[in-house]
Amino acid sequence: MDDVTLSWDLHTVENDVSAIKDSAAETGLQLNQAKCEIIMDDFLLIPTSPVFKQFIKVEKEDMMLLGAVVVSGKV
């Protein structure tokens, strides 16, 4: 399994992503930031931190988890 989903307030997720990146040498796992997504209602809330700079921005209403629709009413 090489997928991970993080959820909480923006600051906590930012710290978690940084911890994953910082432990890459120890774990042998690296984030493919070209495939990472950040899902939010308002992307203006993303800090200027470089942590989310390369992440794909996905509207909350369009989110999918491992190919499955998350928000009810979506097909």
HSE of 62 in the Cβ direction (CA atoms, 13 Å)? 9
Q: Say what the pTM is.
A: 0.80
Q: Would residue 4 count as lying in a domain? A: no
Q: Would residue 50 count as lying in a domain? A: yes
* pLDDT tens track, the chain, 75 positions: 578 889 999 999 999 999 999 999 999 888 998 899 999 888 888 877 889 989 999 998 888 887 777 777 655
Domain of residue 40 covers: 10-69
pLDDT value at residue 6: 92
Question: Hey, what amino acid is at 66?
Answer: L
Q: Would residue 14 count as lying in a domain? A: yes
Q: Would residue 2 count as lying in a domain? A: no
Helix (H, G, I), strand (E, B) or coil at 72: coil
Q: Would residue 35 count as lying in a domain? A: yes
Cα-based angle 35, 44, 3 (whole degrees, multiple of 5): 20
Q: Would residue 42 count as lying in a domain? A: yes
The number of residues making up the chain comes to 75
What is the tally of structural domains in the chain?
Answer: 1
